Amino acid sequence: MPKLVPVFDLQMVVRMEGLMPHAEVAVEPLSEVRCHLARVIDRAQSGTPTIITRRGRQEGVLIALSEYRRLKRIEEALGGRTDR
């Protein structure tokens, strides 16, 4: 079972503060995600993204395709600008 933590307790992998409407995210090591990728994808599609760690460092995030497309639309509406 992945560790579920509130979004505000995480240093975001990508700077989307205020744009991700999720109440919580799962945090799992890459070795665990490899073992049950289909379940991680299902969880993302149900609204819970997963931050993937490697050697204890946050390296990526798996979100639903619909969420990715929503964020891309927001980025395009902002003229491609992202605050880094």
How many domains does the chain contain in total? 1
Convert the pLDDT of each residue in 15-30 to its tens digit. Answer: 444 445 556 889 999 9
Residue 23 lies in a domain: yes
Q: Give the CATH number for residue 18.
A: 3.40.1620.10
Predicted confidence band at 84 (pLDDT cuts at 50, 70, 90)? low
Please say whether the beta carbons of 25 and 51 come within 8 A. yes
Whole-structure pTM value: 0.66
What are the CA-CA distances from residue 19 to residues 15, 67, 73, 74, 78 (Å)? Answer: 9, 10, 12, 9, 13
Predicted confidence band at 43 (pLDDT cuts at 50, 70, 90)? very high
Residue 84 lies in a domain: no
Residue 82 lies in a domain: no
| Structural domain harbouring 7 | 3-77
- The DSSP H or E segment spanning 68 is helix 65-77
**Tokens coding 70:** 């929503």
